Amino acid sequence: MIRGLSRIVPNVVVGACLAIGFLIVQPAAAEEKPKADAPAETQASSAVSAPLVKGALPADDPTAAIWSSAPPATFPMSPQVHWPTRNLEATVKDMIVRGLHDGTNVAILLEYADPTEDPDDAAAVQFMVGDKKAHFAHGQPMAQVEGGPVNIWYWKNKDGKGVDMNAKGFGTLKIQDHQDVKAKGAYANGRWKVVFSRPLDTGHPEEDTLITTAGFINIGFAAWDGKKDPSSGELKEKGSQKAVSSWWYFRAEAPPNYTGYYYAAIAVGLALGFQFVLIRKLKKGQSA
């Protein structure tokens, strides 16, 4: 009996210890996961998650009802202080962002408060292109890290369209030869809603950010209050004077994935089988 036992029981004990060990360690390990940076008190989000929709994408409708099915993410904005010409105060304080995709195209909705509607009001979304990290201020060069370019989607109220651009450092902003981005804005009740849309993959990986359902990519936001000073005619914000965000995350959600449940079911089956064989062997050993 002891001989039979000595072959099986160590496995059980090690298995049980593993299970108990995992139970003890799991909460501890969860604690150790690096927490997402949460700088400001108002910081609510660190990522935009764009659900997959079955029907038509509201690519040119910032006020479509379907937007309410996309979870909003709120990001704090700062005046652009990184580079001259700076502004030390900006109109837009928070950017509410939603995303949707249909497997082919992606639509991103920016929503923010701006007390006046002006022809020069503008907004932009920014992404890194390729594998290299790009500085959030127009992908400007970094001293010790080889950076990549940024892809900027820009919309201005009076132009009423999206512009697809690239930059790698200040003063290098360039409109792309192939324009893949559409944009449309709607102003109501002191708030702008601007929707940008584009194919997930444009076929131009050197210039456009590739959006896949595989994971998170970096995203940043900017907004310009195009209010004119009545006496001087100067725009309140233009060019490098704007509200900007840091880099945050964006992802197009993958279709629902149930593999985790399958694996769990298989594991439960294996554990049950193991118990069954174990107890049968033990009982045999006992009666022998």
- The residues in 14-73 that bind other proteins, with binding defined as CB under 8 A, are 14, 16-19, 21-26, 28-29, 32-37, 39-43, 46-47, 49
Considering only residues 103 to 162 of the shown chain, the ones binding other proteins according to CB under 8 A are 133-137, 140-145, 147
275: contact with other proteins by CB under 8 A: yes
265: contact with other proteins by CB under 8 A: yes
Please state, as a whole number, how many other Cβ atoms lie within 10 Å of the Cβ of residue 5: 14
Considering only residues 70 to 89 of the shown chain, the ones binding other proteins according to CB under 8 A are 75-79, 81-84, 88-89
Considering the complex, state which of residue 172 and residue 246 has its C-beta at the smaller distance from other proteins.
246
Considering the complex, state which of residue 233 and residue 256 has its C-beta at the smaller distance from other proteins.
256
- Residue 231 CB, nearest distance to other proteins (Å)? 25
Spatial distance between the Cα atoms of 205 and 257, rounded to a whole number of angstroms? 27
Count Cβ atoms within 10 A of the Cβ of residue 107 and give its class: 0-12 exposed, 13-18 middle, 19 or more buried.
buried
176: contact with other proteins by CB under 8 A: no
- Residue 198 CB, nearest distance to other proteins (Å)? 21
For residue 257, report the phi and psi dihedrals to the nearest 5 degrees. -120, 120
Starting at the edge strand that comes first in sequence, how are the strands of the sheet with 73-76 ordered?
73-76, 94-101, 105-113, 191-199, 182-188
Q: Are 204 and 54 in contact (CB under 8 A)?
A: no
Considering the complex, state which of residue 35 and residue 54 has its C-beta at the smaller distance from other proteins.
35
Torsion of CA 48, 52, 54, 56, to 10 degrees: 40
186: contact with other proteins by CB under 8 A: no
Please choose, out of 50-58, 111-119, 184-192, 278-286, the segment that lies near other proteins by the rule CB under 8 A.
278-286
10: contact with other proteins by CB under 8 A: yes
Considering the complex, state which of residue 41 and residue 234 has its C-beta at the smaller distance from other proteins.
41
In degrees, rounded to 5, the angle at the alpha carbon of residue 218 between the alpha carbons of residues 103 and 213 is 25
Considering the complex, state which of residue 202 and residue 245 has its C-beta at the smaller distance from other proteins.
245
283: contact with other proteins by CB under 8 A: yes
188: contact with other proteins by CB under 8 A: no
What is the pairing mode between strands 243-244 and 162-167?
A: unpaired
Please choose, out of 98-106, 107-115, 183-191, 239-247, the segment that lies near other proteins by the rule CB under 8 A.
239-247
- Residue 134 CB, nearest distance to other proteins (Å)? 6
Spatial distance between the Cα atoms of 166 and 190, rounded to a whole number of angstroms? 30
Spatial distance between the Cα atoms of 265 and 111, rounded to a whole number of angstroms? 43
Spatial distance between the Cα atoms of 110 and 184, rounded to a whole number of angstroms? 10
Considering the complex, state which of residue 63 and residue 212 has its C-beta at the smaller distance from other proteins.
212
Spatial distance between the Cα atoms of 183 and 251, rounded to a whole number of angstroms? 19
